[in-house]
Structure 1
Amino acid sequence: MIKQLRGSILLLITAMIWGTAFVAQSKGMDYIEPFTYNSVRTLIGGIILVPIITLFKKAENNKKHAPLSKASSRANISGGICCGIILFIASSFQQYGISMTAAGKAGFITALYVVIVPILGIILKRKTGLKIWVSILIAVTGFYLLCIHDGFKLSKGDFYVLICAVFYAVHIVAVDYFNGKNTDGMIMSCIQFFTAGILMGICMFIFEDPHIADILSAKYTILYTGIMSCGVAYTLQIIGQKTTPPAIATLLMSLESVFAAISGWLFLSEKMSARELTGCILVFAAVISAQSNIFKPVAEET
């Protein structure tokens, strides 16, 4: 029970970091192009994990913990590469989609991974209880009120963001799968960032014209999103998902959109309408409703 509660708290912190990082990401795009921004911040996320992993390994050796088996080491590598490729695809579609559609619509469509994850669970023969489905419906309604203001028409950019939502859902399922293979969350996360960062870097040189001066102009937003959004949040996601069923983990992480709206209100003096506040309340209510399942053994959700 304590481990499952800790997993939920870690995923809640993940959502808070991703939500507050939205402001920094928006500002960063004023200076550099999508692949350049994503590549640099993702590689920074991998780099900062290297000394942290080294320190943790030294501490484990001092306590004479058993080293990871060869099978676990292989799972770290294969899991990191697989999740990195998925993250690269999802992030790329999201950046290009956001450039072609309204941010509110993009936020709503991205949040649809709360529905896609349990659907993937059905395909993979994993059951999701009725209470979780009701919570998901409430959350989607909340996201609509929070993000959609002037009607809804599907554009090319919306379609790209929808593809992004599908791959974010696949990423959550992939993390859950590799967590079942006794992987080390920090090592897998580090490999994931280097994989995604390198792929983004290749695309950066092919499709964009990066300049050091422009990157330095965006250094503060890059450092914040690289260290916090990538290095910290994605690592907490992997660790938190170890003890949290995918459907509930998805609802918790979907609070990212709510925290983004709140951070915009706090830091950018953006006003929140009664409609948006209602959306926030509905999403919070959905997550709280789903949390009653967190004290059940994870096996009951599978």
Structure 2
Amino acid sequence: GQWFFLGAALVFALMFNVNSHIVRNVSVRALSVVQMLAVGVLVLPPALLIETWPQTWSAPVLGWLLASALLATTLRFLLQLHGQSLTTPSHAALIMMLEPVWTALAAAWWFAETMSALQLAGCGLIFLALVVSRWVWIRGLFGGRG
């Protein structure tokens, strides 16, 4: 599992960097459509062969499937690409680095989830990495020299 996680992180980092440079020259909508189509073409055939599919689909299941595909995937990806077009790759990466922290906070608020000490430490480390990476900017914000 760790190797899959590492591989996914490396592919995501590559995609993020490529997107940050391409989105400056290509329409966000066009890039989003091309990328969603590419994923569909690459992932759908293996999914049809490997996954177990139900015989019937209820209306609520189809509704949630469409919501997942259209809102949680396509709209989120379109908004991410738009955001990437407005800033530098390093700033966009820092914003994306906070995604797990925002997710944890949203889960705590929406679902009344609690976090273990290890999870809180992880959020703290992510936030600390953000502060360290932007220390010069933060120091300038408060007018300090040290």
Instruction: Report the TM-score range of the alignment, normalised by the length of the smaller protein.
Output: 0.7 to 0.9
RMSD of the alignment, in Å?
2.7
1:176·1:241 contact (CA, 8 Å) conserved in 2? yes
1:261 aligns with 2:104: yes
Give runs of ≥4 in structure 1 deviating > 6 Å: none
> In the TM superposition, what is the alpha-carbon distance from 1:260 to its structure 2 partner?
2.1
Amino acid of the residue matched to residue 17 of structure 2? V
Do residues 200 (structure 1) and 46 (structure 2) align? no
Once the two structures are superposed, residues 175-218 of structure 1 have per-residue CA deviations (whole angstroms, 9 ceiling, x without a partner) of: 023124x2000111012112211222111222223236357554
Summarize the Cα distance change of 1:290–1:169 in structure 2 as closer, same or farther, 3 Å threshold.
Answer: same
Does the aligned pair in 1 maintain the 2:23–2:85 contact within 8 Å? yes
Counterparts of 2:64 and 2:106 in 1: how far apart (Å)? 15
Segments of 5+ residues of structure 2 without an aligned counterpart are 139-146
Amino acid in the other structure paired with 2:76: A
Q: Does the C-alpha gap of structure 1 residues 281 and 218 become closer, same or farther in structure 2, counting only changes over 3 Å?
A: farther
Structure 1 residue corresponding to 2:94, chosen from 214, 234, 251 = 251
Aligned partner of 2:44: which letter? G
Cα distance between partner residues in 2 of 1:215 and 1:256: 32
Distance 1:290 1:227 in 2: 35
Which AA in structure 1 matches 2:116?
S
Aligned to 1:225: 68
Conserved 8 A contact 1:241-1:249:
yes
- Count of matched residue pairs: 136
**Matched letter for residue 240 of structure 1:** G
Q: Provide the identity percentage.
A: 26
Q: Distance in 1 between matches of 2:121 and 2:52?
A: 43
Query: Structure 2 length normalisation: TM-score?
Result: 0.74
Could you tell me how far apart the structure 1 residues matched to 2:36 and 2:58 are? Answer: 19
By relative contact order (CA 8 Å, sep 6+), the higher-ranking structure is: 1
Deviation at 1:281, TM superposition (A): 4.2
Cα 1:207–1:174 change in 2 (3 A) is same
One-letter amino acid of the counterpart of residue 161, structure 1: F
Partner Cα separation in structure 2 for residue 285 and residue 218 of structure 1 = 41
Partners of 2:82 and 2:9 lie apart in 1 by 21
Q: Which residue of 2 aligns with 1:175?
A: 19
In structure 2, relative to structure 1, the CA distance for the partners of 1:212 and 1:232 (3 Å cut) is farther
Shift of 1:276: 3.0
Structure 2 letter corresponding to 1:238? L
> What is the CA–CA distance in structure 2 between the aligned matches of 1:186 and 1:212, rounded to whole Å?
35
Counterpart of 2:3 in structure 1 is: 159
Query: C-alpha separation between the residues in 2 aligned to 1:229 and 1:250?
Result: 20
Q: Post-superposition shift, 1:231?
A: 1.9
Contact in 2 for aligned 1:204/1:210 (Cα 8 Å): no
- Cα pair distance change 1:209/1:219, threshold 3 Å: same
Amino acid paired to 1:174: V
The alpha carbon displacement at 1:229 in A equals: 2.5
The SS at the match of 1:213 is coil
Contact 1:248 1:290 in 2 (8 A): no
C-alpha change, 1:275 and 1:205, in structure 2 (3 Å) is closer
SS in structure 1 of the partner of residue 94 of structure 2: helix
TM-score, structure 1 as length reference: 0.39
Deviations 1:131-152 (A, max 9, x none): xxxxxxxxxxxxxxxxxxxxxx
Q: Report whether the alignment pairs 1:190 with 2:33.
A: yes
Cα deviation for residue 278 of structure 1 reads 4.3
